[in-house]
Structure 1
Amino acid sequence: MTVLFVASRAASPAASQLIPDLSTRFQPSDSAPWTILFVLTLITLVPAILMCMTPLVRLLVVFHFLRQALGTQTAPSNPTLLGLGLMMTWFLLAPVVADVNREAVDPYRAAKITGWEAIELGSKPVKHFLLRYARQKDLALFAAAGQVERPNAPDDLPMRVVIPAYILSELKAGFAIGAVLFLPFLLIDMVTAAITTSIGMFQLPPVVVSTPLKILLFVMVDGWNLLAHSLLKSF
């Protein structure tokens, strides 16, 4: 994420300074093909970066649980949920982006630091954000698996340990929120099934009756507002 931000904000007069830095890093002499290869590889990693280093992981898991609980199958559609998740991610990451801009992008555009120094400085706010939501248990798991020496502080852990630990922590948080969200709708399904069975409506699937009731309940309590409020508070 830091690499993308630095590269996008620096795509101006300072962008020409980044190419020699990358070229000399990968090859002693300047080489445009190496730079093109690096940029194309970076573009292919954009979806993975968004999913692995942003709150989008937790948001999409919760939205999936909500849709399954409501029983609407394809409503809201995947692009709608993805768009909502991206906008909420942008909102949540605004302070981190501001820190990256202040500590890395602005000095780089002022020609005070090199491109790789900007990436190293810009990764610190991102790492601090990931560590804030990564559980100690998950950090210890990947630190032990990677045979990383015991650090003096969590900030000393490498990103190869922090990123997978953050993903596991976000998945756990998303499943926990989704399970709590699922319970009231599950109760409606059970009550509806019991009532339809007791009055002899065996050929009518209970989901035909429970789905409109769940949607009506979700709309009456202003469910989207409550869900967005709870998700934002969880961060």
Structure 2
Amino acid sequence: MIRYLFFGFFLFVPELIFAKSSLHDVMNIPSNLSVSTWIIRTFGLFTILSIAPILLIMVTCFPRFIIVFSILRTGMGMGSVPPNLVVISLALFMTFYVMSPTLDRSMEMGIQPLMNNQINETTAIKRIAEPFWVFMKNNTREKDLSLFMNMAHSSNRNTDITKNDHIEYRILIPSFMVSELRRSFEIGFLIILPFLIIDMIVATIVMAMGMMMLPPTSISLPFKIIFFVLIDGWGVLVENLVRSFV
């Protein structure tokens, strides 16, 4: 038994000694990177991917699209048409369409230099986040920024946002999200108003005809659908949503 243990020891010791070089060869790790650095980078990448859905909601235009599409579906009286999968997919692709310039700048400024080992991880994170900071700043109301800045700096209630060259993310992100929610409801109100008028007209006609037992919503639904189709509703809605971003 002892003989087999010695045999196994001398068999695997060379593998342990040359493990570092073999890992570089097997995993295609650059020669100027250590194994530990490569592992840390890989772990960081998987961490970012795991919180990608949260980042998608916090720093992009996805909330505006998904809320407006949901309000449209509710206003037309179709609870499950289009299906949730279709609505979310459309909102995702429209988000990528609007955010593509920001993503390109982030890739060019931070990700590509990091992959080429021109900058370190700390600098890369700052450069990657910078285009998103600009996007959020341009699409955030000054009133919302002032609100969160005053709450963060409670000792100085007269904080001037125009004098801040770089607003902290803990202030900018909630301000941006509140602004997106406000704009989404504003757009949703304008969308749902014509459908409400159609419902009221149909309900009045049904009541005047004495058809009390007939649900007005079942009669108004075809009129709302044909109205939305005739005005090219999807095209108008998507175009104005895209143009609403700075």
TM-score category by the smaller chain?
0.7 to 0.9
Task: State the structure with bigger RCO (CA 8 A, min sep 6), 1 or 2.
Answer: 1
C-alpha distance 17-138 of structure 1, shift in aligned 2 (>3 A) = farther
- The root-mean-square deviation of aligned C-alpha atoms, in Å, is 2.5
Aligned to 1:181: 191
Question: What percentage of aligned pairs have identical amino acids?
Answer: 31
The amino acid of 1:219's aligned partner reads: V
Measure the CA separation in 2 of the matches of 1:78 and 1:17.
Answer: 45
**TM superposition score normalised by structure 2:** 0.79
Aligned to 1:225: 235
Q: CA deviation at 1:124?
A: 1.1
2:73 to 50, 61, 67: 67
- Summarize deviations over 1:79-118 as a string: whole Å, max 9, x none: 1011001101101111111111221122222221101211
C-alpha distance 193-19 of structure 1, shift in aligned 2 (>3 A) = farther
**TM superposition score normalised by structure 1:** 0.82
Q: Secondary structure at the match of 1:126?
A: helix
- Summarize deviations over 1:114-168 as a string: whole Å, max 9, x none: 0121111121111000000111111111112222884664441111111110000
Structure whose CA Rg is larger: 2
* Preserved contact between residue 109 and residue 127 of structure 2 (Cα < 8 Å): yes
The amino acid of 1:157's aligned partner reads: I
Measure the CA separation in 2 of the matches of 1:104 and 1:152.
Answer: 27
Measure the CA separation in 1 of the matches of 2:213 and 2:220.
Answer: 15
Aligned to 1:93: 99
Aligned to 1:164: 174
The amino acid of 1:136's aligned partner reads: E
Q: Which runs of 5+ in 1 are unaligned?
A: 1-11, 23-31
Residues 1:145 and 2:151 are matched in the alignment: yes
- Summarize deviations over 1:168-200 as a string: whole Å, max 9, x none: 000000000000001110000000000000010
Q: CA deviation at 1:38?
A: 5.1
Q: Kindly report structure 1 stretches of 4+ aligned residues shifted beyond 3 Å.
A: 16-22, 34-44, 148-155
C-alpha distance 221-17 of structure 1, shift in aligned 2 (>3 A) = farther
Q: Secondary structure at the match of 1:93?
A: helix
Q: Which runs of 5+ in 2 are unaligned?
A: 1-27
C-alpha distance 152-65 of structure 1, shift in aligned 2 (>3 A) = closer
* Preserved contact between residue 96 and residue 125 of structure 1 (Cα < 8 Å): yes
- Summarize deviations over 1:40-74 as a string: whole Å, max 9, x none: 54344221111111110100110011001110110
The amino acid of 1:217's aligned partner reads: F
The amino acid of 2:195's aligned partner reads: F
Measure the CA separation in 2 of the matches of 1:232 and 1:75.
Answer: 23
